[in-house]
Chains A and B, each alone.
Chain A
Amino acid sequence: NAGVTQTPKFQVLKTGQSMTLQCAQDMNHEYMSWYRQDPGMGLRLIHYSVGAGITDQGEVPNGYNVSRSTTEDFPLRLLSAAPSQTSVYFCASRARPSGNTIYFGEGSWLTVV
């Protein structure tokens, strides 16, 4: 039972570098999303997708890019990393349309120096 799988778990980047956080789910969920978690701020939605080829912005999309070429995968790209993007990133998915609960990956700890 893989569920939602995120890689890498830990990453250190230098300011200005780009990288991609990978997210894959094996539950045939149409809805996938990315959140960032910062101390004292809970989780904030970055981008989400309701199916292959469909993406939309969440609350804090600036500096991030996403694409959804398959149902299974939803990568998050940091275009030019900034220290403000130091955070824990969670990928989540749920069934659509009848699902209610979102299920999270284990998180990716990103530090930008």
Chain B
Amino acid sequence: AQKITQTQPGMFVQEKEAVTLDCTYDTSDQSYGLFWYKQPSSGEMIFLIYQGSYDEQNATEGRYSLNFQKARKSANLVISASQLGDSAMYFCAMREGSGTYKYIFGTGTRLKVLA
């Protein structure tokens, strides 16, 4: 069965440093999509970055990059130059297969950026 695993319940990072949030997934589909969302303390879910299973390049969006290692089934989020506003809960998610509409989410990692 498809599954998303985030093994880090909480992380600390010093301001201006880079941090990697881990995400592994399990699927038998060849076509799938991987996502990261940010949930600040205000509660909304903010889309950060997307990686398709056939994309050869790692996705990047500003200070966010997705380290996609297909053979290891990992899709880690890298945040460069952390800012205090990056303190939030981060969720990894996967769209199962192509042409489907079911998204599964990991349990999240709470990131705290220290001044």
Query: Which residues from chain A sit less than 8 Å from chain B, CB to CB?
Result: 31, 33, 35, 40-45, 48, 50, 58, 88, 90, 92, 94, 96-97, 100-107, 109
Distance in angstroms from B48 CB to nearest chain A CB is 10
Asked whether, in the complex, the Cβ of B44 is within 8 Å of the Cβ of A101, the reply is: no
Chain A residues closer than 8 Å to B44, beta-carbon distance: 104-107
Asked whether, in the complex, the Cβ of A41 is within 8 Å of the Cβ of B45, the reply is: no
Chain B residues closer than 8 Å to A94, beta-carbon distance: 101
Query: Which residues from chain B sit less than 8 Å from chain A, CB to CB?
Result: 4, 33, 35, 37, 43-45, 47, 50, 52, 91, 93, 95, 99, 101-108
Asked whether, in the complex, the Cβ of A102 is within 8 Å of the Cβ of B103, the reply is: yes
Instruction: Give bound CA distance, A32 to B101, whole Å.
Output: 9
Interface of B is mostly: strand
Distance in angstroms from A100 CB to nearest chain B CB is 5
Instruction: Give bound CA distance, A109 to B104, whole Å.
Output: 21
Interface of A is mostly: strand
Chain A residues closer than 8 Å to B43, beta-carbon distance: 88, 106-107, 109
Instruction: Give bound CA distance, A91 to B7, whole Å.
Output: 26
Instruction: Give bound CA distance, A92 to B44, whole Å.
Output: 11
Name the residue on A nearest B51 (C-beta).
A100
Instruction: Give bound CA distance, A95 to B27, whole Å.
Output: 23
